[in-house]
């Protein structure tokens, strides 16, 4: 049994679905179902007794203690977080609450539970912290990609909150001996990605004939990884990563935002042509994100060298699957765009 936090979100739900497809080991899934959590992502698990969903907050110590005591998981895989940089600029408080205080609470509950374990159960327990490449800050065009040894230089409230949580995880290992591993991954894309983030936003806006808002000059660079490859990287580190170590996970795929948007448009032109003309006609340059990091890139040689992990998808194969998934799942798209989503779009884009 493993305990997953944030397993109704984008990456967490992909992780839970892949885990249960590949292993007999049950999952308890603790998720607060914020705007980003969506049980529809897990609809295919209905009636599956190996998936136990618990609606609750990682900051609720009584609940987390009770879950650990009752289910005795051999590992915690911690995805739960506020994850959107733009939202962290509009309202950083929730990021401090969940990403910093929530992780602290989870670490304390894990430490107390781990202290009750004996022998092999104690030695084999893992706390796997899922983090981001954004903690390393921003690269210049000629800088080498982020290695695990890079200093932390977070620039947004989101990345600062994730950096703080990484430091807590490190300290709980160093001081208390809690058996932790941390992964720092680049930008994911794929099924169940909430359309506040670049790729799904461009797909759903294009299909609705709405503007495709590109921040600043569109030349910011990100490394993009298909979400299922992130999940396989986490499984590899959880199984065989060295205790107290951090592992960077990336797709060896640096691309400028404008090229991402043009690729999405070209795929839609092919798969769902618009009689009104090429989708790229909708590209609209808008005011930049404050403090916008210029470039991220990941050196993923450590996880390859130590654990033999490499991404299975190229960007060409992954983005085609992703666009096709959004075309095939119009109902999911319509459901996530109802309600509070509209308020967010108005708050972030109206005055740009």
Catalytic residue selected from 158, 247, 279, 326? 158
Task: Output the six-digit token pair for 295.
Answer: 């470039």
CB of 79 or CB of 247, closer to ligand NAD = 79
Active site residue 158: yes
Residue 139 interacts, among ligand DAU, ligand NAD, none and using kind-specific CB cut-offs from 5 to 8 Å, with: none
Phi/psi at 107 (5° precision): -65, -40
Residue 198 interacts, among ligand DAU, ligand NAD, none and using kind-specific CB cut-offs from 5 to 8 Å, with: ligand DAU
Q: How far is the CB of 269 from ligand NAD (least distance, A)?
A: 26
Catalytic residue selected from 57, 134, 254, 293? 134
User: Running DSSP on this structure, what letter comes out for residue 146?
Assistant: B
Under the binding rule (CB under 6 A), the answer on residue 198 touching ligand DAU is: yes
Q: Across the beta sheet with 187-189, what order do the strands follow? A: 187-189, 221-226, 254-256
Identify which range of 22-30, 40-48, 50-58, 213-221 contacts ligand DAU by CB under 6 A.
213-221
| CA–CA distance, 92 with 81 (Å, rounded to integer) | 12
| CA–CA distance, 169 with 77 (Å, rounded to integer) | 12
Side-chain half-sphere exposure of 279, counting CA atoms within 13 A: 25
Sign of CA dihedral 4, 243, 109, 130: negative
Residue 37 interacts, among ligand DAU, ligand NAD, none and using kind-specific CB cut-offs from 5 to 8 Å, with: ligand NAD
Residue 215 interacts, among ligand NAD, ligand DAU, none and using kind-specific CB cut-offs from 5 to 8 Å, with: ligand DAU
Strands 75-78, 51-55: pairing is unpaired
Q: CA nearest 169: which of 161, 160, 178?
A: 178
SS (H, E, C) 27-39: EEEEECCCCCCCH
| CA–CA distance, 135 with 99 (Å, rounded to integer) | 13
Q: How far is the CB of 288 from ligand DAU (least distance, A)?
A: 8
Partners of residue 132 on adjacent β-strands: 185
Q: How far is the CB of 293 from ligand NAD (least distance, A)?
A: 13
Tell how far CA 264 is from the center of its chain. Answer: 20
CB of 2 or CB of 80, closer to ligand NAD = 80
Under the binding rule (CB under 6 A), the answer on residue 250 touching ligand DAU is: no
Under the binding rule (CB under 6 A), the answer on residue 103 touching ligand DAU is: no
Of the candidate residues 51, 84, 230, 235, the single one contacting ligand DAU (CB under 6 A): 84
Under the binding rule (CB under 6 A), the answer on residue 187 touching ligand DAU is: yes
Under the binding rule (CB under 6 A), the answer on residue 150 touching ligand DAU is: no
Active site residue 134: yes
Q: How far is the CB of 81 from ligand NAD (least distance, A)?
A: 3
Under the binding rule (CB under 6 A), the answer on residue 257 touching ligand DAU is: yes
Under the binding rule (CB under 6 A), the answer on residue 233 touching ligand DAU is: no
| CA–CA distance, 37 with 344 (Å, rounded to integer) | 15
Which SS3 state, helix, strand or coil, does residue 47 take? Answer: coil
Active site residue 217: no
Q: Is 5 exposed, middle or buried (0-12, 13-18, 19+ CB in 10 A)?
A: buried
Which SS3 state, helix, strand or coil, does residue 130 take? Answer: strand
Sites of contact with ligand NAD (CB under 6 A): 5-6, 8-12, 30-34, 36-37, 57-59, 79-81, 83, 98, 102, 130, 132, 162, 185, 187-188, 194
**Site residues (CB under 6 A) for ligand DAU?**
83-85, 132-134, 186-187, 197-198, 201, 213-215, 220, 222, 257, 289, 296
Residues carrying an active site annotation: 133-134, 158
């Amino acid at each position: 049994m493993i305990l997953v936090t944030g397993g109704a979100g984008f990456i967490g739900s992909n992780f839970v679905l892949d885990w249960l497809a590949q292993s007999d080991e049950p999952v308890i899934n603790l998720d607060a179902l914020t705007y980003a959590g969506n049980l529809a992502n897990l609809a295919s698990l209905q009636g599956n007794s190996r998936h136990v969903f618990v609606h609750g907050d990682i900051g609720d110590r009584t609940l987390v203690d009770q879950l650990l005591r009752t289910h005795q998981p051999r590992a915690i895989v911690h995805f739960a977080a506020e994850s959107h940089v733009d939202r962290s600029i509009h309202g950083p408080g929730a990021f401090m609450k969940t990403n910093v205080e929530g992780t602290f609470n989870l670490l304390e509950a894990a430490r107390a539970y781990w202290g009750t374990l004996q022998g092999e159960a104690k030695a084999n327990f893992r706390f796997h912290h899922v983090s981001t490449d954004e903690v390393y800050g921003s690269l210049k065009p000629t800088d080498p990609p982020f290695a695990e040894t890079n200093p932390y230089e977070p620039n947004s409230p989101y990345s600062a909150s994730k950096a703080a949580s990484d430091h807590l995880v490190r300290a709980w290992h160093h001081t208390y001996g809690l058996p932790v591993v941390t992964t720092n991954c680049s930008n994911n894309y794929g099924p169940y990605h909430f359309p506040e983030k670049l790729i799904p936003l461009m797909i759903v806006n294009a299909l609705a004939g709405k503007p495709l808002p590109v921040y600043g000059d569109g030349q910011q660079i990100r490394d993009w990884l298909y979400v299922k490859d992130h999940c396989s990287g986490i499984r590899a580190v959880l199984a065989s990563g060295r205790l107290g170590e951090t592992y960077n996970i990336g797709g060896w795929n640096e691309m400028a935002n404008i090229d991402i948007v043009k690729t999405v448009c070209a795929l839609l032109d092919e798969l769902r042509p618009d009689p009104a003309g090429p989708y790229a006609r909708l590209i609209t340059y808008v005011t930049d994100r404050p403090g916008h990091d210029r470039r991220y890139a990941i050196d993923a040689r450590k996880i390859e060298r130590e654990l033999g992990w490499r991404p299975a998808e190229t960007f060409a194969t992954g983005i085609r699957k992703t666009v096709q998934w959004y075309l095939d799942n119009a109902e999911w798209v319509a459901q996530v765009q109802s309600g509070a989503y509209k308020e967010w779009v108005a708050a972030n884009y109206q005055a740009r």
